[in-house]
Amino acid sequence: MILKYINRTFLLLMVFIMPSLLYAQKSDTVIDQIIGIVGNKIILQSDLEAQYQQYLAQGHYKDESAKCDVLDQLLLTKLLIHYANIDSVTVSDAQVEGEIEKRIAYFTEQFNGSTEKLEEYYQKSVPEIKDEFRPLVKEQLLAQTMQQKIIGKASASPADVKAYFNSIPKDSLPYINSELEYGEIAFKIAVSDEEKNKVKTRLEEIRTRLLKGEDFATLAILYSQDAGSAKNGGELGFVPRGQFVPEFEAIAYKLKKGEISPIIETKFGYHVVQLIDRRGETINVRHILLKPEVSNKDLLATKAKADSIAFDIRSGKIKFEDAAIQFSDAEDSKNNGGNVVNPATGNTRFEANQVDAMVFFQLDKLKEGEVSNPALITSRDGSQYYKIFLLKKRTQPHVANLTDDYQRIQQAALSHKQAKLMDDWIVRKRKSTYVRIDPEYSHCEEIKKWSN
């Protein structure tokens, strides 16, 4: 199918690149030989084995045919990189470093946030791991950028969507589970000045102890309310500029190595920060976080406000969408009239298992068009809100159709169009590009097209 090109391309380019290190760690001998050439780009046996090890590490059974798929992806990536160089497509050093830091953070998390365990496992220091990453990360980003250049201008008009839908055999139309569309208005529970001052006083006492020479890591373990970093002595690892909230970053980047910051207020609470090290535009800091707690008085006051707005919506004094814009503290949805977007799909539809359990509990009691009573919801960062919800639509399980599933079908039509653009580009470029593949892989159906 034509669609496999784009799906496999995206799959390959989004894979974390640790497999090359994993393969080196797990295998006593890496037999390196050239098994493919695309233009002036080569594919090594070790490249293939590394990606195959990643495939197995994801829980798949050994399957030699999977190597054919991996080699197909590698050939496509090298083709993209070859023409990225010809077309002067570039990526900046900052993009590369940012991606490296993101991947290091991901793999550090797999070792329970321990940089030491990561280094011990791979028998390399973090700088050495990064050096090994760098060329491959740059290649992957180049391939992604080139791919976007090829498919970026694709669009799906209503006529395209209808034509795509009509091209699907009726007995092949997908079955769609029940879905919800909903809106929210969030009222963040304000913390009293008294509680804020209490927390700042406590953190200032800790800061004084730090300035007198007590160990930052020890105090972070004892007192920090950032559970993720406290166990590591408050250390956050190397993070590129732009990843921290602005208030935190503005101070952290001004610190000298070992220096203790003044108290910093962010949406997460109050911090004291120490700079461990800086490498260009990336820094490694440790911090201690204390969070002000809301009082019963604060809870009751916020609930009363949410109750009042919900009453005004039900009585028709204000539309839900207007109330969201005017009153909601949910930045992601307030300017969208309160509509909540599914991050997994980019549209406003959610299956039941995609909705937070506490939110689903509220929505499940509503009929279409009904507004809920205020519900106390705790966000991922620990902030507390009273939220009111509007159930906009609840679909029943059904066979896909243009009326109920237009957004879904439009996205599928766009993906199909992008795949066709990608496929046509591959066919054109393959004809004018030198490609050689080791005869050992001539049995692979996926590889045969590269020899045509």
What is d(CA 326, CA 3) in angstroms, rounded to the nearest whole number? Answer: 44
Phi, psi of 179, rounded to the nearest 5 degrees: -135, 160
Q: Are residues 111 and 182 in the same domain?
A: no
Q: 165 in a domain, yes or no? A: no
- Residue 8 pLDDT exceeds 70: no
Q: Are residues 34 and 55 in the same domain?
A: yes
Average pLDDT over residues 92-118: 80
Q: What is the pLDDT of residue 103?
A: 83
Q: 447 in a domain, yes or no? A: yes
Q: Per-residue pLDDT tens for 242-273? A: 888 899 999 999 999 999 999 999 988 999 99
CB 324 within 8 Å of CB 333: yes
Q: What is the pLDDT of residue 31?
A: 57
Q: 311 in a domain, yes or no? A: yes
CB 133 within 8 Å of CB 101: no
Residue 446: band (very low, low, confident or very high) from pLDDT cuts 50, 70, 90: confident
Average pLDDT over residues 121-148: 88
Pairwise pLDDT comparison (19 vs 143), residue with the higher score: 143
Give the domain CATH number at 224.
3.10.50.40
Q: Which of 250, 270, 290 lies at the terminal end of a domain, its last residue?
A: 290
Q: 166 in a domain, yes or no? A: no
Mean pLDDT, the chain, integer: 87
In percent, how much of the chain has pLDDT > 90?
57
CB 332 within 8 Å of CB 395: no
Q: Which of 290, 307, 330 lies at the terminal end of a domain, its last residue?
A: 290
Q: Are residues 394 and 437 in the same domain?
A: no
Q: Are residues 16 and 147 in the same domain?
A: yes
Q: What is the pLDDT of residue 123?
A: 85
Q: 207 in a domain, yes or no? A: yes
Residue 50: band (very low, low, confident or very high) from pLDDT cuts 50, 70, 90: confident
**Domain total of the chain:** 3
Average pLDDT over residues 123-143: 87
- Residue 387 pLDDT exceeds 60: yes
Q: 232 in a domain, yes or no? A: yes
Q: Which of 235, 270, 290 lies at the terminal end of a domain, its last residue?
A: 290
Pairwise pLDDT comparison (65 vs 150), residue with the higher score: 150
Q: Are residues 180 and 323 in the same domain?
A: yes
Q: Per-residue pLDDT tens for 436-445? A: 999 998 888 8
Q: Are residues 231 and 124 in the same domain?
A: no
Q: Which domain holds residue 225?
A: 193-290
CA atoms within 13 A on the CB side of 84: 22
Residue 369: band (very low, low, confident or very high) from pLDDT cuts 50, 70, 90: very high
Most confidently predicted of 63-67, 136-140, 221-225: 221-225
Q: Burial level of 236, CB count in 10 A (0-12/13-18/19+)? A: buried
Q: Are residues 382 and 311 in the same domain?
A: yes
Average pLDDT over residues 372-385: 86
Average pLDDT over residues 407-423: 92
Q: Are residues 126 and 19 in the same domain?
A: yes
Q: Are residues 99 and 112 in the same domain?
A: yes
Q: Are residues 220 and 204 in the same domain?
A: yes
Name 349's Cβ contacts closer than 8 Å, sequence gap at least 6: 179, 180, 181, 342, 395, 407, 408
Q: Are residues 33 and 144 in the same domain?
A: yes
Q: 167 in a domain, yes or no? A: no
Phi, psi of 350, rounded to the nearest 5 degrees: -130, 135
In what order do the strands lie in the sheet containing 235-240?
235-240, 282-290, 269-279, 264-266
Q: 163 in a domain, yes or no? A: no
Average pLDDT over residues 293-304: 90
Give the domain CATH number at 141.
1.10.4030.10
Q: What is the pLDDT of residue 21?
A: 47
Q: Are residues 212 and 122 in the same domain?
A: no
pTM, two decimals, is: 0.61
Residue 64: band (very low, low, confident or very high) from pLDDT cuts 50, 70, 90: confident
- Residue 87 pLDDT exceeds 60: yes
Q: What is the pLDDT of residue 451?
A: 76
In percent, how much of the chain has pLDDT > 70?
92
What is d(CA 3, CA 151) in angstroms, rounded to the nearest whole number? Answer: 13
